Structures are given as structure tokens and as C-alpha cells.
Amino acid sequence: MNSAMEVRFFDGRSTRPHAARLHVQGDQLLLAPAAGEDFEALRLPLAHLRWPERTRHGGRLLQLPDGASVQALDVVAWDAWVAQLGRSESWVVRAQQNWRGVGLAVLLLIGAIAVLYQWGLPWAARGVTAAVPVRVDALIGAEVLESIDQSMLLPSALPREHQERLRAGFARMVKAAHPDDAPAWKLEFRRGRDRRLGPNALALPGGTIILTDELVQLMPGDDDAVLGVLGHEFGHVRLRHAMRQLVQASAVGFAVSIAFGDYGTLIGSAPVLLATLGYSRDAEREADVESVRLMRAAGIHPRVMVGFFEAIERWRTEQKRAGADDDAIGLAFSSHPATAERIAFFREAPDN
Ligand SMILES: [Zn+2]
């Protein structure tokens, strides 16, 4: 038996993480609840697991059957643990002797090489996303909203008039920038159950944008920056970034099931994947471009975003000092640090 690995376990039904420990025993993976957790321990044949790839940034997410998954707490420790497994256990060898394992590995490898070699992953994900019907985005969005409503959100306490003012302002911006090619969108006001989400906005697949009261209150009396953030989220909606990211995250596996019109896996694992993943820098840049386009259409100077980023940064620093977990939802606005490049983009954007 090798050493234990502390992980976050998601049961596939809610986005609430459970503390758990992983062990390997023979050719089985054991997932046991940490003290204070009460889910049932899992035992899974190692040969049936798809280990997450080592990527430069981003977490390690091991997907389990039924939409469940395990997330590494410490990426470096996780990689070392997996490497040690490969050396000390014979399960790799056994998996290779298992014909299903070999068949699947070869299929995945050929698929992955073909995709990477010919088109590159982001491009492929864009193509696959284009083939997914938009109603699938809406299904996933509804699923995710329900899941985070249960685990992280409460109804908004923002006065109704203020909500309506923001919604009308946003609608005007969208109409001005995209008179006849705007995708469907819906603005939902919420506040965080605890301090994890804080001032935030989040675009779900299907066009639902969640805006937290904390974000509206970050700069009281100044709704322009809030509209700028909504413009950014609208960019993610218009370009279907969340769906593209979902497709890309499990590229080949999803591509195969999507090719057969099977969206079950995609929908089932969406809440956890979206909670874990972040957007690429390119996606953030595209959303920022959209934000500037919308602000200009509404006569708002993009420079308002500079002060806003500073306010968000102050909030993050404060959170860190309080020892809070700041990666509540990977795709959410305040999980993307405002790089100098992004701030300069808004500062230097011309008025029109
Ligand atoms: Zn973003």
C-alpha cells in the first residue's frame, strides 16, 4: 500500500467538495472519507480510470464513474504521488495487459494525436463546440445554476429598482452593440452564502449571467464598471467559452461521445468541471474586447474598469489575509487575476 493522498472529492451530484484520502491497494483505488465526512468509501479498479494529464497550469481532476471526480489539493504532491504509483505498483503493467485498457488507450492516443497534430486543441474544441446544439448549453446552464444555487448562492438582497436599472442598462448596451446578432442572455442576481464568491460575475453555458450583490456593492453608486463586467461576461456568452472549455477539458472523450450525439457525460460532469476550470488567456482577452465594445456602445469609458480591478484586487488580498479559499469557481470573474496587460488594455482603450 502506498502513501495516502489528500484530495477534494465531488460526488457528481453537487458542487460541494468533500475532504477525502486516496490510497492504492493492489490494483484498486480506495477513496475514503476524511474525518467528519460521511460519504461511503469507494473502491475502483485502477485499470478503468483515466488519469488527468499533467498540464502546465490548472489543477488535476481525476474523473470517476457517474460524474464524480477527485481534485488534487496540491498539484506538485499529486504528480509525485502518481509518479510513485507508476514505479512501485504493477497496476500500469496490469492495465496494459487488460485488452480493454489497451484498446481504449490506443483509441484515445490515435484520436489525441490526430486532433493535436492536425488542428491543435483550442481550434478543435471550437469546431466541436460549433457541432453541439445550443440547447445543450442551456441544459448544462440550468444544471449548473441549480447546483450552485444549492451550494453557494442565496437570493439577492439588492433593491428591485437597482436590479431593474442594471438589467435595463445591460440590455441597452447589448442592443446598441449587437442590434441583430445578440445571443440569448438572462441576468440573475444572487448573493454568496459565505465569503467564497464575494464580488463576482459568472456566465453559464446557455447565456445565464450571475451577478453577485457583493460585486454591485464593491463600488457603491458606480454602475458603469458593473456594466463593464457584464459586458465581459456577455463576451463569454457570445463566444460560448464555457462550452468550449468543457469540450476542451476532456477533449477526446467528449469529442467521441458528442460525435455519437451522446451529451450525457458532458452534462453530468459540467458542474464540477466548470467549478474547477479556468478560462484561457485568449478567452479572457476576447471577453475583454467584447466588454470594451459594449461599454463604448453605451457611452461608458472603458477606463472605469481600471479602478474596478483595483477594488477587486484589494478584496482578494483581504481574502488571502483572512485565509480564505479564493478559487471557489474557476470560471468566475474574480478568479481571473487582472494582469497588467488586461488593466493596460482597458486604460488605453479609445473612447470610440
Ligand atoms: Zn472572464
Higher-confidence residue: 89 or 5? Answer: 5
Q: What number is the average pLDDT over the span 199-225?
A: 93
- Condensed to tens digits (0 to 9), the pLDDT of residues 265-288 reads 667 777 766 766 778 788 889 999
Higher-confidence residue: 18 or 351? Answer: 18
Q: What number is the average pLDDT over the span 240-245?
A: 86
Q: Measured in angstroms, how far is the CA atom of residue 181 from the centroid of ligand 1?
A: 21
Among 11-15, 37-41, 154-158, 247-251, top mean pLDDT goes to: 154-158
Q: Measured in angstroms, how far is the CA atom of residue 338 from the centroid of ligand 1?
A: 10
Q: Measured in angstroms, how far is the CA atom of residue 30 from the centroid of ligand 1?
A: 36
Instruction: Of 71, 64, 63, 77, give the one whose Cα is nearest residue 17.
Output: 71
> Residue 250 — very low, low, confident or very high, per pLDDT cuts 50/70/90?
low
Q: Measured in angstroms, how far is the CA atom of residue 247 from the centroid of ligand 1?
A: 17
Report the pLDDT value the prediction gives residue 191, as an integer from 0 to 100: 95
**Cell output for 244:** 468550449
- Condensed to tens digits (0 to 9), the pLDDT of residues 298-336 reads 999 999 999 998 898 888 888 888 877 655 666 777 777
Report the pLDDT value the prediction gives residue 24, as an integer from 0 to 100: 85
pLDDT > 70? residue 114: no
Q: Which of 81-85, 133-137, 199-203, 298-302 comes out lowest in average pLDDT?
A: 81-85
Q: Measured in angstroms, how far is the CA atom of residue 47 from the centroid of ligand 1?
A: 37
Report the pLDDT value the prediction gives residue 172, as an integer from 0 to 100: 97
Q: Measured in angstroms, how far is the CA atom of residue 48 from the centroid of ligand 1?
A: 35
pLDDT > 60? residue 87: no
pLDDT > 80? residue 144: yes
Calpha distance 144→204 (Å, rounded): 7
Please, what is the average pLDDT of the chain? 81
Report the pLDDT value the prediction gives residue 266, as an integer from 0 to 100: 66
The DSSP call for residue 50 is: B
pLDDT > 70? residue 105: no
pTM of the model: 0.64
pLDDT > 50? residue 89: no
Q: Which of 45-59, 79-93, 150-164, 241-255 comes out lowest in average pLDDT?
A: 79-93
The position carrying cell 484589494 is: 314
Q: Measured in angstroms, how far is the CA atom of residue 350 from the centroid of ligand 1?
A: 21
In 34-105, beta strands by DSSP E? 42-45, 61-63, 69-72
Length of the chain: 352
Q: Measured in angstroms, how far is the CA atom of residue 308 from the centroid of ligand 1?
A: 14
Q: What number is the average pLDDT over the span 50-64?
A: 71
Structural domains of the chain sorted by starting position, each given as residue range(s) with its CATH number in brackets: 5-97 (2.30.29), 128-348 (no CATH)
Report the pLDDT value the prediction gives residue 104, as an integer from 0 to 100: 67
Report the pLDDT value the prediction gives residue 125, as an integer from 0 to 100: 72
Among 85-89, 219-223, 224-228, top mean pLDDT goes to: 224-228
The three-state (H, E, C) secondary structure of 269-287, written as one string: HHHHHHHHCCCCHHHHHHH
Q: Measured in angstroms, how far is the CA atom of residue 218 from the centroid of ligand 1?
A: 18
Q: Measured in angstroms, how far is the CA atom of residue 283 from the centroid of ligand 1?
A: 7
Q: Measured in angstroms, how far is the CA atom of residue 263 from the centroid of ligand 1?
A: 25
Long-range contacts of 186-192 (CB under 8 A, 24+ apart): 187/211, 187/230, 188/145, 189/155, 189/156, 189/158, 189/163, 189/213, 190/149, 190/153, 190/154, 190/155, 190/156, 191/153, 191/154, 191/155, 191/156, 191/157, 191/158, 192/152, 192/153, 192/154
